[in-house]
Amino acid sequence: MRGTRRVTAATRPGPTVKGPGIVGGVQNYPNRFPDGRPAKSTSIGIKNAKGEYIAALCLNLDVSVLSPVTLALSNLVATDAEHRERPLETLRGRNASELRQMVETLSAERAGTPRSLSRNDKKALVRRLHRDGYFDSRDAAQTIADLLGVSRATVYNYTKAKGAQ
């Protein structure tokens, strides 16, 4: 397994997988797909009878589809409902991680993933992000386009006034 570091008890992100011929298995660690979707991963190195690595098995579970469930459950068990409607204001610029989290949250409110939203829901989401200042950060339009599975030009078209369709 080239490019990996040796896992020790102090650095192990999750429980290990053990068995005959299986070594160095690490399970349930956080990861991200190239397009930014969150994932849970498990990696297992497999050795032959001579003790040589012959394969690596990497499993990645797309957990972005669980965002609506996660949001619903967190709202269900929340006890601080008094200030939930009031957003916290910061004076610093937003980064891509915050933008990605906001897109996932807004999508979950509509019971879907960013890519599964209808055209009208995507428009509403983009307009809200634009209204809330998320387009002020660098490459925001491209990041939003990648998350929604549309072109950057489409994202800019979605920001236009509701009457201009």
User: Structural domain boundaries of the chain?
Assistant: 16-62, 65-79+91-158
130 vs 137, which has greater pLDDT?
A: 130
Is the predicted pLDDT of residue 163 greater than 70, yes or no?
no
The secondary structure of 34-59 as a DSSP string is TTS-EEEEEEEEEE-TTS-EEEEEEE
Angle at 72 between CA 41 and CA 154, to 5 degrees: 75
pTM (two decimals): 0.47
Question: What percent of the chain stands above pLDDT 70?
Answer: 72
User: Residue 101 — left, alpha, or beta (φ > 0 → left; ψ -120 to 50 → alpha)?
Assistant: alpha
Nearest to 39 by CA among 70, 62, 14: 62
